[in-house]
Chain A
Amino acid sequence: MSPSLTPAARAPALRRLFEGLKGQALLLKSLTTLVLAAGAGVIMLPLLFLLSTSVKDRDQLRQSPPPLIPTALTLVEVNGKQEPLYRVTVDGQTREMALIKNRPGGKGLFLDPANPSQTYELVIAEQTALTHLEIHWENYAEALRQMKFDKLLVNTLLVTFLGMAGMLFSCSLVAYGFSRFRAPWLNIFFIILLSTIMLPGQVRLIPTYVFFNKLRWVDTLLPLIVPQFFANAYDVFLLRQFFLTIPLELDDAAKIDGASPLQVLLYVILPQARPALVSVAIFHFLYAWNDFYEPLIYLHSPQNWTLAVGLQTFNALYAVNTHLIMAASAVMILPPIILYFLAQRIFTQGVVFSGIKG
């Protein structure tokens, strides 16, 4: 604001500025919503494409560009043959006719099924092919049968939930040790633990494989489950951050009542830390369900595969069956999506992640 304005002239100027800001805010909000909506469309489109492809049959797959709504050409029987039905314009009249023959110059021979004796030669591009909705749900049953889904699902659930149990058990203990006690070297060990988050996994991959090979655990589910019982840096860190927010007075009250440290963990800390435990459990589920690298390395026989490996192989063998592969993929992403909607609050409010900063 220029200093030359008198105090009397300043008030309306201030008000104008204020109103300008208000208008600006409204404009910003509308713009924000608009941009977000456009981005949301971009995000949903691939998933819609997945769904739509998964319910098409082989003929529908050949449509280029692929329609998002799974439609098929409407056919009509002419002289014992199935011919595509078109909406055509003849002598200014719109009628439905079958295309029975292609002619040179982009033209085609059309006839009215009700009056098959008269044919018309018309430019195909000027007519509209009639389509109708055609959904092949049976693709799902077929895909699941072909990739032996039930067996793979059992393996995946074993790896996921046994691993989750091991992770929750070990990480709770370790996080408790790192959050409630003083001991020499404990801080050094915590820094070592944190630095393993940054460690690229490959640097320990091969000896670990050799180790499991010596134990004859390769081609069993054990290498994917057993290490989870020995804690991992990421979940220990997140749980510890959460444990630190639980007031020490609660521990002290329990200790006065004669509780041992283990009882404090079981009856004070863990019940208080439910949201954090649920969060790390969910993130473990997503990790184990989607993991591909380790199952690929450790599981060789088809009866031991997890869904991720089975789906990859299914695609490598039957890539032409796009519709079945998309159906299997849709089934594979369904549990994470259901879980996501059930536990939405944990994601959208960042229950666990709020511990990261600072």
Chain B
Amino acid sequence: MSLTPARRESLWAYAFITPWLIGFMVFTAGPMAASLFFSLTEYNIVSPPQWLGLTNYVNLFQDELFWHSLSVTFKYAAFALPLGLVFSYLIAVLLNQKIPGVNVWRTIYFLPSVVAGVAVALLWARIFDPKFGILNPFLAQFGIKGPGWLADPDWSVPALVIMSLWGVGGNVIIYLAGLQGVPTDLYDAAKVDGATAWQRFRHVTLPMTTPVIFYNLVLGLIGAFQYFTEVYVLTGGAGGPVRSTLFYNLYLYQNAFKYFHMGYASTMAWVLFVIVLLLTLLIFRSSDTWVYYEGQLKGR
């Protein structure tokens, strides 16, 4: 064989990553280019795409439902993300303490994260039911008259936020891994210096786990724009009552697979892509001021 060892190594490398290279071309790069093309056409799958130029984009920005679905999505994200972040972080901090039976607690707290999807949405539909559910009778014990939740356009999004908080266990797992990665000698050093529990948390734990917070924040944001299953199941795909839960992804789904406006839905997909990209960049840029990477210090 006349191959140099370096050439042979490269060939092996490319041979091993071939499945991904093919998958990337066929299921990611190719479709992305195609959906950019579709976004400039009228396309209903049955007949060939008709060139429209930027018409879809112009129409989209004049589409009230587009703006409405954006605001529903942002409204949900504005509450679900910060609340989820704080809750899951606090739970992770508590679950990281040396207390008796901590594994039992961890087991319970992670449990909801494995039972996602349709069944859970159906369960919460019953919990929120004003008459036969358990939430409003519970609130009534504190003298609070619970709203109609999923039946009330003002309370349907808050209900979805509450539902999402029940499943924060998935984020807790990631935070806990981050907390366990904080070197114990830092805590010991802080204790020697007489730092209180709060000071140790504020000046050791929090800075050391900002990368994990950052990771959860970015993925949570993308997740809000993918939000679909729960709202489809709870509203039968309609986004009701009176479109109060018409999330961006649900409106996109309706355009694509209910009305077969594949071109218009592709436009929505690309606008979504740009929005998510911008928001992610924004978080990345701001992260310089608040995310602390231990590795960065080593270069100094």
Contact flags A298-322 to B (C-beta < 8 A → 1, else 0): 0000000000100110011000001
How close is B166's CB to chain A, nearest CB, in angstroms? 7
Best-surrounded residue of A29, A40, A207, A332 (most CB of chain B within 10 A) = A207
In A188-221, the 8 Å CB interface with B consists of 189, 192-193, 196, 198-211, 213
Cβ B119 vs Cβ A170 within 8 A? no
| Contact A170/B19 with A46-B166, A356-B215 known, Cβ cut-off 8 Å | yes
| Contact A206/B262 with A65-B134, A308-B117 known, Cβ cut-off 8 Å | yes
Contact of A206 among B18, B27, B212, B269 (CB under 8 A): B269
| Contact A207/B19 with A46-B127, A347-B173, A350-B177 known, Cβ cut-off 8 Å | no
Cβ of A7: which chain B residues have Cβ within 8 Å of it?
none
| Contact A183/B14 with A49-B134, A203-B32, A204-B27 known, Cβ cut-off 8 Å | yes
How close is A336's CB to chain B, nearest CB, in angstroms? 4
Cβ A311 vs Cβ B118 within 8 A? yes
B225 on interface, CB distance cutoff 8 Å: yes
B76 on interface, CB distance cutoff 8 Å: no
B51 on interface, CB distance cutoff 8 Å: no
A4 on interface, CB distance cutoff 8 Å: no
Cβ B134 vs Cβ A45 within 8 A? yes
Cβ of B12: which chain A residues have Cβ within 8 Å of it?
177, 181, 261
Best-surrounded residue of B13, B137, B212 (most CB of chain A within 10 A) = B13
Cβ B123 vs Cβ A329 within 8 A? yes
Cβ B45 vs Cβ A213 within 8 A? yes
Cβ B103 vs Cβ A348 within 8 A? yes
Cβ A350 vs Cβ B30 within 8 A? no
Cβ B24 vs Cβ A200 within 8 A? no
If over half of A's interface residues share one DSSP class (helix, strand or loop), that class is named, otherwise mixed; here it is helix
Cβ of A311: which chain B residues have Cβ within 8 Å of it?
118-119, 122
Cβ A326 vs Cβ B105 within 8 A? no
Contact flags B247-269 to A (C-beta < 8 A → 1, else 0): 00100110011000010011011
Cβ of B122: which chain A residues have Cβ within 8 Å of it?
311, 315, 325-326, 329
Cβ B110 vs Cβ A340 within 8 A? yes
| Contact A337/B111 with A36-B95, A49-B134, A177-B14 known, Cβ cut-off 8 Å | yes
A24 on interface, CB distance cutoff 8 Å: yes
A61 on interface, CB distance cutoff 8 Å: yes
Cβ B20 vs Cβ A193 within 8 A? yes
Distance in angstroms between the alpha carbons of A210 and B18 in the assembled complex: 24
Cβ B173 vs Cβ A32 within 8 A? no
Cβ A357 vs Cβ B272 within 8 A? no
Distance in angstroms between the alpha carbons of A330 and B233 in the assembled complex: 16
Cβ of A193: which chain B residues have Cβ within 8 Å of it?
20, 24
Cβ of B166: which chain A residues have Cβ within 8 Å of it?
42-43, 46
B1 on interface, CB distance cutoff 8 Å: no
Contact of B20 among A40, A230, A339, A344 (CB under 8 A): A230
Cβ A230 vs Cβ B26 within 8 A? yes
Cβ B13 vs Cβ A181 within 8 A? yes
Cβ of B100: which chain A residues have Cβ within 8 Å of it?
33
| Contact A293/B229 with A65-B137, A315-B122 known, Cβ cut-off 8 Å | yes
Contact of A356 among B9, B117, B177 (CB under 8 A): B177
B290 on interface, CB distance cutoff 8 Å: no
Cβ A198 vs Cβ B218 within 8 A? yes
Cβ B173 vs Cβ A350 within 8 A? yes
Cβ of A236: which chain B residues have Cβ within 8 Å of it?
20
A112 on interface, CB distance cutoff 8 Å: no
Cβ B28 vs Cβ A202 within 8 A? no
Q: Which of A70-78, A93-101, A119-127, A284-292 faces chain B?
A: A284-292
Distance in angstroms between the alpha carbons of A326 and B24 in the assembled complex: 40
A13 on interface, CB distance cutoff 8 Å: no
| Contact A206/B38 with A189-B17, A312-B233 known, Cβ cut-off 8 Å | yes
**What 3 pairs across the A-B complex have the smallest Cβ distances?**
A230-B23, A177-B16, A65-B137
What is B's interface to A at a CB cutoff of 8 Å?
6, 9-10, 12-24, 26-28, 30-32, 34-35, 38, 45, 91, 94-95, 97-101, 103, 105-112, 114-120, 122-124, 126-127, 131-134, 136-137, 140, 166, 173-174, 176-178, 180-181, 197, 211-212, 215, 218, 222, 225-226, 228-229, 232-233, 236, 249, 252-253, 256-257, 262, 265-266, 268-270, 272-273, 276, 280, 293-295
15 A–B contacts, CB within 8 A, in A order: A32-B97, A49-B127, A66-B137, A200-B276, A202-B272, A203-B273, A206-B35, A206-B38, A210-B34, A210-B262, A290-B118, A292-B118, A312-B118, A339-B114, A358-B181
